Structure 1
Amino acid sequence: MLRDLEQRFQSYPYRSLNTNLPQAAVLIPLVKQKTGFHLILTRRASHMNTHSGEVAFPGGKKDTTDTDLLSTALRESWEEIHLEPQLVRIVGRCSSVVSRYGLEVTPFVGIISQTPELSANTDELDRIFTVPLEFLLNPKNLKTHLWQMSDHTYQMPFFSYGEYRVWGLTAIMLAECLNIGFDASIPLDVPHFDSDYGLRPRQPVKPSVSQS
């Protein structure tokens, strides 16, 4: 299974951007359990200046001490949720995307073979939680909302899991990950893969929710 995932991600023609924007990286951490894979997610603390209360992957901006973006993702995961880097087997990466705050974000996919002991850095987070991959792969649990930009309306994916809403950039990166590794076939009619996305005005419309 892990070898198959590695082959899928390593052969995937992910998109790299050349935006000259500040760089950031996140980890998409999948924990292997008896019942299948579970995805680790966080919820940003309400006192944060950006992304407060939003569901996100562990990650952040590249530091001058980071040797590369993978180092950024692993360092931030340790700082935010105390996930030890040696527990993570990186199987590949997904396409870089641009956040609404002007960061070029690169997601890395990591497999964790044993359930780790995690704790949230309360300076940044108020919750760590997991979602069964089985839930995310069920088409009945996929929803969409509309996003207007440059006279085009996009269908953006999102998931609702209990009290949590996985949406925005996190949902886009997650959807691509599920498509690559697990044949989810989630439509990605999103502007974030355009090379000039970081330079174009983004104007979301009031979400119009539909069931995919």
Structure 2
Amino acid sequence: MLNHFKRRLDRYVPKLLTLDYPEAGVLVPVTDNASNPELILTQRAAHLKTHRGQVAFPGGKRDLTDSSLEYTALRETHEEIGLLPSYVQVAGPLSQVVSRHRILVTPFVGIVPEHAPLEPNFGEIDSIFRTPVSFFMEDRRFRTDEISFQGETLYVPCYEWEGYHIWGLSAVILVDFLNAVYDAGIDILEPQK
């Protein structure tokens, strides 16, 4: 599975944004069950000042001492969900995205053991959940949101899984992952027909 992801991401050219914004790194953790891989997602804590209660990939802002954004993604993931960096096999980066708070986010796809121990840090997140990649491949979206970014309108899916809504920046990263690794063909530049 790791070799497949690496091959796909080696051929993929992630979009890099030349913006002078603070940086963050997030992990797109995929379980290593080849027949039924799942994405690991979090719901941010309800008491946080920004993005409270929203579904997100684990990760966060880069510290000055972080050697790379990949390191940031692994460090922050460990802080948020207790996933040890040694359990993660990083397959490669995805396209950079910008949060509405002007944070430049670089996602990294990582393969993790299906039964890796996870422990939520309730100071940052309320819950951890898993969603089969196959669910997203069916593109059974709950709705489509129109998001303006740098003069373009993006038509971003919102997915509902067991009461969680996966939308916004997380959905943009998710679609990029599905298109890069699985050839999902989900177009966010054109309205869904």
Measured against the shorter chain, the TM-score band is over 0.9
Letter in 2 for 1:25: G
Q: 2:84 is matched with which residue?
A: 84
8 Å Cα contact 1:77-1:83 kept in structure 2: yes
TM normalised by structure 1 equals 0.85
Task: State the Cα deviation string for residues 27-85 of structure 1 (Å, max 9, x = none).
Answer: 00001237510100000111000000000000000001210100000000000000010
After superposition, the CA RMSD in angstroms is: 2.0
- Computing the radius of gyration over CA atoms, which structure comes out larger, 1 or 2? 1
Structure 2 Cα separation of the partners of residues 184 and 146 of structure 1: 20
Task: State the Cα deviation string for residues 140-175 of structure 1 (Å, max 9, x = none).
Answer: 347412235688643122211121000000000010
Structure 2 Cα separation of the partners of residues 46 and 3 of structure 1: 38
Structure 1, unaligned runs of 5 or more: 191-209
Q: 1:134 is matched with which residue?
A: 134
8 Å Cα contact 2:23-2:104 kept in structure 1: yes
8 Å Cα contact 1:143-1:211 kept in structure 2: no
8 Å Cα contact 1:142-1:211 kept in structure 2: no
Question: Structure 1 residues 102, 184: closer, same or farther in 2, change over 3 A?
Answer: same
Q: 2:160 is matched with which residue?
A: 160
Q: CA deviation at 1:2?
A: 2.4
- Structure 1 consecutive aligned stretches of length 4 or more whose deviation exceeds 6 Å: none
Say whether residues 1:180 and 2:180 are aligned partners.
yes
Alignment length (residue pairs):
193
Task: State the Cα deviation string for residues 102-130 of structure 1 (Å, max 9, x = none).
Answer: 10000000001341110100001110000
Q: 1:61 is matched with which residue?
A: 61
Structure 2, unaligned runs of 5 or more: none
Report the identity percentage.
Answer: 40
Q: 2:27 is matched with which residue?
A: 27
Correspondences of 1:1-212 after superposition (within 5 Å): 1-33=1-33, 35-141=35-141, 143-148=143-148, 153-189=153-189
